[in-house]
Chain A
C-alpha cells in the first residue's frame, strides 16, 4: 500500500452539543480514489473541512501530504465544495487566474493553464464573460476547473455529482478517470452508495460521526462477505427447504425460487453450514460465499438505510 497522502488520527469535532466527527482514524493512500460514504449529517463535509484546514479538530491530528495541514501542502490540493459558488461578477479567465494565484501559481502560468482547461471543457470562447452570464451547466464546469486548474496532487470533491445535469455528470466522470490515470489522489464524499462502489478503490463508511467500516473496497466487502451464502437446491422440494430453514446459526433467510440467500450469525462459519446440509442429505446445486454490496455492508454496520441513500443518482 502507498504511503498515505491524508491521514486522520483520533480526530473529533463538535458544534456545541452536536458531535459531528468522533475519534476518526483514516488513511488515504497516495494515488487512490477514496470515497467517504455516509448519509447527510454523518460528518463527511466536516471531515473534509478539517483536512483542508478550514476547520480545526478539537482533538486528534490531521496530516496532509506528509505533514501537518500547512499552506504549502494546501497549495497541492484542489477542492470542489458541496456548496458551489464563484464570484458572480468576475470574468471567467480572471477568476481562474485568481484561484490559481491563491494556490501559489504565478499569474502567467495560471493564465495558460486556465486556457488549457477552458479549451478542454468547452469554455474557451467564454473567457471574457462574467460568471453570472454563464448557464448553470457552464458554471458547473467552471467549478470543476477551479478545483484542478493549479494541477493539484490531491483532489477533494464534496458530493461532486449532486445537482449536476447528465452531461456534466459524464464530464466529471471523465475528469475523475483522467486524474486517476495520472496517479492523483482523489477523495470524494457521497451519500450515493453506487458512486462509491463504481468509482472508488477505497472507502470509509461514516454514520453519525463514526467510521463504521473502511479500507480497500474489495477488502471491506470480503471482511463482511463471509456472512452471506447463496444456496441453490437441486429441486424445489419441501424437505430441502425445511432442512435449510432448520440449520442452526442462520440469522436471516430470503428465498428466490430454488435459491436461498442466507445471512449467518456472527460465530458461524459457512463451512459448518455446508457440512450440516450435506449431513442432512440436502441435494445442493450451488453453495457460494458471496461478496456483499456496499449497501449490505452499510446496513449490516449501521442498521437501516437512510432514505437519501436508497436512490442511486444514475452514475
Chain B
C-alpha cells in the first residue's frame, strides 16, 4: 500500500508542479473574476450617457422619462436634460443636437413627436452615437414606452395600476417534482445541465490525456523498467491514475470553490464596483455531489483506457492515433446529452445513465432536470464502480504486457493472447 501511496504522491506532485497546471488552476478563478469585475469596470469606464429628451407633446412626458432614466439622487448610467422646441425651431434644434452629439457633448437625443400620447399616435425617434448598442437602446426604449403608456392610460381615465393587475401574466410554470430546486425555471436548468456536461466532457478528456502523456513519458524515458523492478504494473498504473486524478480534482475543487465564493460575494463585489453579476442558474447541492462522483468514476474509467493505450503505443504518433479509442465513447456520451436534454425521462436517457461509458456525462444533466429514481442512481453507481475496477484490471494487464514492448505495436489478437497469458 505504501508503494502505491508513493506512486500517487509522485504523480500528484509531478502534475501540480508544472507551469501549465498552475496557469490552468488560476484560469478558472481568473475567468470568474473577469465575469464579475469586467462588466462593472467597463460600465464605469464608459462614463454616463448624456441624453436630451425633446418633448413636443406639451404634457410633461419628457420630464417623466427623465425621471425614469435618471432617478433623483441616483448615480445611474444616464444624465438627462429635457428640451422643448419653440414654434418653428424644431429643425434648428435637431441640427444643434446632432452637432452636440457629434462633438461628444451628448450621447444622443430622444425626439417625442406631438402625437405620441394624443391623437395620431406619432412616433419616437432616438438618434445617438450609441444607437447600435442593444443595451442602451433597450433601456431607453423601455423607459420611453413605459412612460408613454402610463400617460396614455391616465389620459384615457384608466388607472394604470389597476390595468397592470388585470393584465398581470398568468403565473404558469413547469418544474420538476423536487424540493431542492426552488425558483429555477426549466430554461435555467437546461443551461445548468449543459454547463455541467460540457465541464465533465472537457475535464475527463483533458485529464485522461494527461494520464496517456504520463505513461508515454515513463515509457519513452525508459524509467519504467526500473520502477517495475519495485512495484507491480497494476499498482503502478492505479497509482498513476489516482495521482493524476487527484491533481485534476484539486484543480476542479479550486474552480468550484472560487465559483461558490463568487456566487456568495460576487454581487457585493460587483455592486462595490458599480455593476452587477450576470444571472447564473442555481442548482441543488446534491447535483454537486453527483457531478463530483461522475467526474471521479468517469475519470478512473477513461484514465484506465488512456493508460492502457499509452502503454500499447510504441511512439507518440501511435499514441495520437490510438487515443481515438477513448475519445470515441466519450464523444458519443457527449452527443447523447442533447437527446437527454430534449427528453430527460426517456428510454435513451435512462439507458445512457446506466451504461458506464456514458453515465458520467449523461447523469449530471439528467439529475438537474428530472428526478432520477433511487434504484437507477444505485445501479449507475454500482455499474460505474464495477466498470472502473474492470478497466483498471484489464488496463493493468495490458500495461504489464506492453509497457516494455518496443518496435511494432502488437495486433489486437496478439494483445489478447498476451493479456490472457499474463
Contact = CB atoms under 8 A, between A and B. Distances in A.
B156 interface: no
Contacts of A103: 230
B414 A83 contact: no
Contacts of B222: 81, 83-85
A55 B226 CA distance: 13
Interface in B186-240: 218, 221-232
A257 interface: no
Contacts of A102: 3, 6-7, 227, 230-231
Interface residues on B, range: 20 to 34
Interface stretch (A69-77, A179-187, A203-211): A69-77
B6 A98 contact: yes
Contact of B226 (A58, A81, A88): A81
A37 B225 CA distance: 21
B229 A77 contact: yes
Contact of B225 (A71, A77, A83, A90): A83
Could you tell me the dominant secondary structure of chain B's interface residues?
Answer: helix
B422 interface: yes
A87 B231 contact: no
Contacts of A88: 221
Could you tell me the dominant secondary structure of chain A's interface residues?
Answer: loop
B10 A98 contact: yes
B30 interface: no
A25 interface: no
A46 to B, nearest CB: 10
Contact of A86 (B7, B223, B228): B223
30 contacts: A16-B414, A52-B229, A54-B225, A54-B228, A54-B229, A54-B404, A55-B404, A71-B232, A75-B230, A77-B229, A81-B226, A81-B229, A83-B225, A85-B221, A85-B224, A85-B225, A85-B226, A87-B14, A87-B223, A90-B10, A98-B10, A99-B226, A99-B227, A99-B230, A102-B3, A102-B7, A102-B227, A103-B230, A104-B2, A146-B226
Given A81-B225, A87-B223, A90-B14, 11 more contacts: A54-B225, A54-B229, A71-B3, A74-B229, A84-B222, A85-B222, A85-B223, A86-B223, A99-B230, A101-B3, A102-B3
- Which 9 A-B pairs rank lowest in CB-CB distance, beginning with the nearest? A85-B222, A102-B230, A85-B223, A101-B6, A79-B229, A83-B222, A81-B225, A85-B221, A52-B229
Interface of A: 16, 49, 52-56, 58, 71, 74-75, 77, 79, 81, 83-90, 98-99, 101-104, 146
